[in-house]
Amino acid sequence: MQAAETQEARYAARVGHGKAGVVFVNVYRNTSSNPVTFTIQTASSTALRTDSTNPFWLTAGLSGGIGANTAGAVRIAISDLGEWIRWDVTGPNAAVDFDVMVDFYDRS
């Protein structure tokens, strides 16, 4: 990716509602001269609107960021998930390559 982008709803991951856990974003290449912020969003259905006026996709915890021209891992705690999750990236002005790994834990 070369600019701000949100994962398309059709590629969102179905995780089951009410879960909590941690997301690791592994940034392999970052040529952006701006810091890059990663956010995990959640919704009850992928068919819901995505506009910012009446959003159905909500932030599922904290955001995590990485500095300009920096590679490494970003850890984001997530909780109270809806049925689906997806990623949202803001800030890059050049190529950023990453993958996302999600680990859930029991809330008992």
Lowest mean pLDDT among 14-28, 38-52, 64-78: 38-52
pLDDT of the residue at 9: 86
User: d(Cα 28, Cα 71) in Å, to the nearest integer?
Assistant: 6
Residues whose CB is less than 8 angstroms from the CB of residue 13 and which lie 6 or more positions away in sequence, other chains included: 84, 85, 86, 102
User: d(Cα 17, Cα 79) in Å, to the nearest integer?
Assistant: 10
Domain total for the chain?
1
pLDDT of the residue at 27: 96
**What number is the average pLDDT over the span 25-50?**
89
Instruction: Return the ∠ at Cα 46 (arms to 45 and 49), rounded to 5°.
Output: 95
Name the residue range of residue 100's domain: 5-105
Collapsing DSSP to helix, strand or coil, 9 comes out as: helix
For 48-78, write each residue's pLDDT tens digit.
666 666 678 888 888 899 999 999 999 999 9
Share of the chain above pLDDT 70, in %: 91
Q: Give the chain's mean pLDDT.
A: 89
User: d(Cα 87, Cα 108) in Å, to the nearest integer?
Assistant: 27
